[in-house]
Amino acid sequence: MTPVIHILDSHSANQIAAGEVVERPASVVKELVENALDAGARHIDITIEGNGVPLIRVRDDGCGIAISDLPLAVIRHATSKISQIDDLDHLKTLGFRGEALPSIASVSEMEISSRPADEVAGLCLKLMAGEQGEFSEVGCPVGTSVTVRNLFFNTPARLKFLKSIPTEFGLISDTIGRIALAHPEVAFSLIHPQQVVLQTSGRGDLRETIGAILGHAIARQLIPIDAQQGEWQLEGFISPPDLVRSSKQTQTFMINGRIVRSPLLNRALEEGYHTLIPAKLHPVVVLHLHVPPSEYDVNVHPTKMDVRFKNEQSLSPFISQAVYQNLIKSKPLPSFHTQLPSTHEAQTAFSLKASPRSVVASLLENSKPRGQFHATLPPFLENTPEKQSLKPETFVQPKFFLPAQDHSRKLVSPVGDVPSQIDSPKSNTQVNPLTQNSPLVEGDKITVDTLAHIWPLAQLFNTYILATDGEVLLMIDQHAAHERINYERLLAEFKQHDHSSQVLLIPLPMEFTIQEEQVVLENLWNLTEMGFILEQFGERTYLLRGVPVQTGTVQADSLLRQFIEEVLQKSSIPTIDKLLEEWIYLLACKESIKAQDSLSLLEMEQLIALLGQSKNPYTCPHGRPTMVKMTRPELEKRFYRT
């Protein structure tokens, strides 16, 4: 039998719309609060009982709803935000669909009380499942109060999928917190039950609002950002690289006052932190993007959370560069006491957390004659009665900078010759780049050698260099530091040589799996552009006839195979720039000093000098820190000297 087409009744249509807009109690809160913001409210009070099902009440001091308009507010497709389709290109309000109130009313008992400023009394409208409307005149302040009781009472299937009270209320508080971050000029309060869970001042201070929501300790550490390009403006706060989390829960993106989700914004942020934080860790950010309404579309989903942009290819680099430049200017040097996200992530996170007692114990344990700890002072600090006022001796550049068993790796400066002399520590009246807050960069260029006043003290565990300037103790990871030096050098060489090839005297045969071969074929043109020469030799077998000039003495076939495995792990098809970046990462790692390589003081001095001349001396290309610091006040506090 052929099915008959018919039009749904209004009640069924409202319930279907409710399924799209009202997913859970947090969705109701979001829609009601956004309506309050569109009404120009400066104070919004939210009251929740239980998980939001028994009661949700949102009160505001906005413009209110006129008596003649209140009956229309609960009818589908009724709206005060737009009058024609062209208005969407200039829309500056948070809502326009005209379905929130009728959708919520269809699955609850709703009561709306509202009074405009020019009315003596207000009007109250009561609805049961979106029907049986009752009007009455009430006394109420200017603004609107919407009360929702017994949510989903007529849709029991929806109730079954709700989580526990703490989970649902947690989602509600998270929603309110994010909206408050988008509107620091509005005072929010969240009560549950009889307890004020969240309250913001509404003074327009975003950092103050962040402190109320994420905590004052986090708010103090955040770095302000304010960048502009044409009609685009990016403002807000981003975390330094040593303040990271294992999830993206503490990231909030806003566009013109609206909380949004966007893969583009996520990718742009990741690119901005690229090489500054380890993989799988995420920064804490509150970013507000201001763009013309015609350049993005929020009507992708009924909740208006997902957004698409018209000019993604230009917008993404603008965001990434703004984030990266602000991070570099902030001198992202992690402190010795910085906490890691979790124990599992301690191997890849930014800073090391240890007490001076554990450090001293390690030094004592490793001072035994096992070749693990070099306690020799620098030449210019030996045999001196007044160590703090001594002048350094002339710096003599050694021929090689690595253990005698391997002279193939050298510390090569990416920016020119190393200074012929290391300066002595400056007096307390002069600026110390590691303890002052003045910017160290102008554009892409570092204005001073950030480690010019640092000298090495010893090598710990044949892995870490202990260094100081008399005020700050630095613990430098020798492999991460050398990796950063080599990365910037190789990157500069690749840019200068136009990805030239070096033909191998004897071609190297390489046999790939089916999956590996597909990666090779998909990226064959890009690999050729980088300098690889591959020739098919048989079924899944290729001859490697040429490699990039910068490969040097590294075994090219094994490194290429590792490179292909790295590409396989990526979820998206890499561009030539990404492929080149991955290749340089591998080369920089292979050519760098390793842990357990014993270094002389002269080699440590050279490493520190080269690191100080890098554009980003604070992290290796993989985002791990090259060094952590402990200041003199921190150390004295540990010994109860202050």
Structure tokens at 497: 């040589």
Q: Which of 75-79, 190-194, 431-435, 631-635 has the lowest mean pLDDT?
A: 431-435
pLDDT, tens digit, 9 for 90 and up, residues 126-146: 999 888 678 899 989 999 999
**Least reliable range by pLDDT among 7-16, 463-472, 485-494:** 7-16
Tally of CA atoms within 13 A in the half-sphere of 100 that contains its CB = 24
Asked whether the predicted pLDDT for residue 100 surpasses 90, the reply is: no
Q: What per-residue confidence (pLDDT) applies to 166? A: 87
β partners of residue 631? 472
As a dihedral over the C-alpha atoms of residue 576, residue 408, residue 489, residue 415, rounded to 10 degrees, the angle is: -170
The token duo for 357 is: 């007692």
Type and span of the H or E element at 548: strand 541-548
Q: Which segment of 151-155, 585-589, 603-607 scores lowest on mean pLDDT?
A: 585-589
**pLDDT tens digits, 291-339:** 998 888 876 655 667 788 888 889 999 999 999 999 988 876 776 655 5
Distance CA 102, CA 115 (A): 20
18-40, pLDDT tens digit by residue?
Answer: 545 688 999 999 999 999 999 99
For residues 71-82, one letter each, b for 16 or more C-beta atoms within 10 angstroms of the residue's C-beta and e for the rest, the string is eebbbbeebbee
- Burial degree of 546 (CB within 10 A; 0-12, 13-18, 19+): buried
What CATH code would you report for 222-329?
A: 3.30.230.10
Highest average pLDDT, of 20-24, 206-210, 280-284, 406-410, comes from 206-210
pLDDT tens per residue across span 504-525: 889 999 988 777 888 888 888 8
Q: What is the pLDDT of residues 540-567, one digit of tens each?
A: 899 999 988 877 666 778 778 877 876 7
Domain with residues 10-199, CATH architecture: 2-Layer Sandwich (3.30)
Alpha carbon of residue 54 to chain centroid? 37
Q: For residue 460, give the nearest of 637, 636, 241, 627 by alpha carbon.
A: 627
Which range, of 72-76, 148-152, 361-365, 528-532, averages the lowest pLDDT? 361-365
Please report which confidence band the pLDDT of residue 376 belongs to, taking 50, 70 and 90 as the band edges: very low
Q: Which helix (H) or strand (E) holds 580?
A: helix 576-590
Q: Please tell me the predicted confidence (pLDDT) of residue 573.
A: 61
Cβ-proximal residues to 514 (8 Å cutoff; 6+ apart), any chain: 540
Read off the pLDDT of residues 386-433 as tens digits, 9 standing for 90 and up: 333 333 333 333 333 443 333 333 444 333 333 333 333 333 334 444
Q: What is the pTM of this model?
A: 0.69
**So where are the chain's domains?**
10-199, 222-329, 341-642
Half-sphere exposure of 216 (CA within 13 A, CB side): 2
What's the mean per-residue pLDDT of the chain?
A: 77
Higher pLDDT, 476 or 87: 476
Range in 106-110, 399-403, 456-460 with the lowest mean pLDDT: 399-403
Burial of residue 636 (number of CB atoms within 10 Å: 0-12, 13-18, 19+): exposed
- For 46, residues 6+ apart whose C-beta sits below 8 A from its C-beta are 29, 33, 56, 57, 58, 59, 172, 176, 188, 189, 190, 191
Whether 222-329 and 10-199 are alike in CATH topology: the answer is no
